[in-house]
């Protein structure tokens, strides 16, 4: 999940968050400053129900990690008026034959459990596998940073303290609930395991997929797959509806007449590229038709996205596409998840 894209490639669009006060190197190198901050965290954690026994064991073991601060500060700023790059090169890089083949192999290996999850939740196995492939390359790269240490460092640094301190408190709750501190490894910004869940997401949505009473998203694929599906259910996935379809758009289409006039409260730059919602029947009457065998029902609502502009490949996207965006609010991410899912199941 993003910080999942920024992380694993990360589970969110954190880079657009405002930065806090500047942080000097002298502060960073001050052990007493870091430990004093952890004492503030201790009180907040106590207030949120974390046991003193857990806090007295975990907090003294944490040390400042300058590397995660450097990684955080090296992230691009995503300037509001920056030009959006073309989608086609991104697609070629992220929906590769190697990734498709590895997804098919993982799908065959997990088919029994995936079929059960799909029956129980309505989330397609292909979508689950595509998320698995995008987030951690089917579990082969999950990160090796100590999560409590990384989050404590980033919270202390202060640029995004409200974000990282909240995740640190969630990580302490996980340990207090029985998750081994040594097991909590992941990306430098806190995303963990095969699905790259942040600690707060783990607390809300991690699932035990094999019935042993523990949601082990680091080592157990059944748990990881069940957790991804539970995330999508929680975000509003609609059973029986695809994410979208590729379409042909006539040159005569009046784009101004279908322009989206609604301002999204979350990820506005992502959603402003989408058209108004129309039924598939309405799109067909405008001359927008599927370019493959895959179809949408006449009454299905969809928005049009032309990621590389008029005359290039276009897509009609359903409400389930918005669920993919909830995992990582990026049109490029959402499209490649959908396309990878279709390729894995083809």
**CATH code: domain of residue 29:** 1.10.8.350
Between CA 81 and CA 239 the distance in angstroms is 37
Q: Are residues 290 and 215 in the same domain?
A: no
Residue 22 half-sphere exposure toward CB, CA atoms < 13 A = 3
How many helices (H) and strands (E) the chain has is answered by: 16, 7
Residue 1: predicted pLDDT? 59
Which residues, in sequence order, are CB contacts of 287 under 8 Å at separation 6+? 249, 250, 252, 253
- Closest C-alpha to 174, from 139, 204, 219, 142: 204
Which residues, in sequence order, are CB contacts of 39 under 8 Å at separation 6+? 59
Between CA 29 and CA 135 the distance in angstroms is 33
Which residues, in sequence order, are CB contacts of 175 under 8 Å at separation 6+? 54, 58, 148, 181, 184
Residue 25: predicted pLDDT? 54
**Residue 200, token pair as written in the block:** 């707060």
Residue 82: predicted pLDDT? 61
Q: Are residues 253 and 306 in the same domain?
A: yes
Q: Are residues 99 and 175 in the same domain?
A: no
Mean pLDDT by 10 residues, the chain (346 residues): 43 40 54 91 97 97 94 67 82 96 97 97 98 96 96 92 96 97 95 97 97 96 98 97 96 94 86 95 95 86 96 96 96 97 95
Residue 108: predicted pLDDT? 97
- Closest C-alpha to 317, from 286, 276, 281: 276
- Closest C-alpha to 174, from 197, 144, 142: 197
Q: Are residues 251 and 229 in the same domain?
A: no
Q: Are residues 224 and 250 in the same domain?
A: no
Q: Are residues 305 and 171 in the same domain?
A: no
Whether 102 is covered by a domain: the verdict is yes
- Closest C-alpha to 121, from 211, 240, 233, 242: 233
Whether 345 is covered by a domain: the verdict is no
Between CA 112 and CA 299 the distance in angstroms is 33
Between CA 109 and CA 82 the distance in angstroms is 42
Whether 335 is covered by a domain: the verdict is no
Show which of 186, 210, 235 is a domain's final residue: 235
290 phi, psi to nearest 5 deg: -60, 145
Q: How many residues does the chain have?
A: 346
Whether 292 is covered by a domain: the verdict is yes
Residue 83: predicted pLDDT? 74
Longest alpha-carbon distance in the chain? 69
Cα→Cα distances 202→190, 206, 218, 223, 240, Å: 11, 5, 11, 11, 26
Whether 297 is covered by a domain: the verdict is yes
Residue 5: predicted pLDDT? 39
Whether 342 is covered by a domain: the verdict is no
Q: Are residues 304 and 174 in the same domain?
A: no
Residue 23: predicted pLDDT? 53
Q: Are residues 35 and 157 in the same domain?
A: yes
Q: Are residues 248 and 310 in the same domain?
A: yes
Q: How many distinct structural domains can be found in the chain?
A: 3
Show which of 175, 209, 235 is a domain's final residue: 235
Whether 341 is covered by a domain: the verdict is no
Q: Are residues 265 and 167 in the same domain?
A: no
Whether 330 is covered by a domain: the verdict is no
Residue 76: predicted pLDDT? 59
Residue 30: predicted pLDDT? 64
Q: Are residues 306 and 269 in the same domain?
A: yes
Cα→Cα distances 28→31, 149, 162, 326, Å: 8, 14, 18, 34
Long-range contacts of 82-90 (CB under 8 A, 24+ apart): 84/273, 86/307, 86/308, 87/307, 87/308, 87/331, 87/332, 87/335, 88/308, 88/312, 88/313, 90/332, 90/336
Q: Are residues 173 and 67 in the same domain?
A: yes
Domain that holds residue 304: 244-317
Show which of 187, 210, 235 is a domain's final residue: 235
| Measured CA angle at 253 (ends 248, 258), to 5 deg | 105
Residue 294: predicted pLDDT? 75
Residue 28: predicted pLDDT? 56
Residue 15: predicted pLDDT? 35
């Amino acid at each position: 999940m993003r910080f999942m894209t920024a992380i694993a490639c990360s589970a969110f669009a954190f880079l657009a968050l405002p930065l806090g006060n500047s942080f000097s190197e002298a502060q960073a190198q001050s052990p007493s400053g870091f430990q004093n901050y952890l004492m503030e965290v201790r009180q907040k954690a106590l207030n949120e129900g974390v046991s003193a026994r857990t806090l007295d064991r975990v907090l003294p073991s944490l040390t400042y990690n300058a590397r995660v601060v450097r990684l955080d500060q090296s992230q691009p700023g995503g300037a509001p008026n920056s030009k959006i790059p073309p989608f086609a090169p991104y697609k070629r890089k992220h929906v590769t034959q190697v990734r498709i083949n590895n997804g098919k192999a993982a799908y065959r290996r997990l088919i029994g459990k995936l079929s059960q999850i799909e029956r129980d939740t309505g989330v397609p196995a292909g979508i689950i596998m595509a998320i698995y492939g995008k987030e951690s390359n089917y579990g082969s790269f999950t990160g090796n940073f100590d999560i409590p240490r990384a989050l404590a460092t980033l919270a202390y640094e202060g640029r995004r303290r409200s974000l990282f301190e909240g995740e640190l408190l969630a990580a302490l709750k996980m340990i207090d609930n029985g998750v081994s501190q040594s097991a909590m490894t992941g990306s430098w910004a806190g995303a963990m395991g095969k699905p790259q869940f942040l600690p707060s997401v783990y607390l809300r949505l991690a699932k035990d997929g094999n019935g042993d009473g523990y949601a082990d998203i680091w080592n157990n694929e059944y748990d990881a797959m069940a957790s991804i599906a539970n995330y999508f259910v929680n975000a509003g996935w609609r059973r029986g509806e695809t994410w979208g379809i590729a379409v042909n758009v006539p040159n005569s289409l009046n784009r101004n007449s279908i322009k989206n006039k609604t301002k999204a409260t979350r990820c506005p730059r992502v959603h402003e590229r989408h058209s108004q919602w129309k039924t598939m029947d309405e799109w067909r009457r405008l001359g927008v038709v599927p370019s493959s065998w895959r179809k949408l029902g006449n009454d299905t609502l969809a928005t049009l996205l032309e990621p590389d502009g008029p005359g290039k490949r276009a897509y009609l996207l359903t409400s389930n596409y918005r669920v993919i965006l909830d995992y990582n609010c990026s049109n490029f991410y959402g499209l490649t998840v959908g396309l990878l899912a279709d390729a894995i199941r083809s």
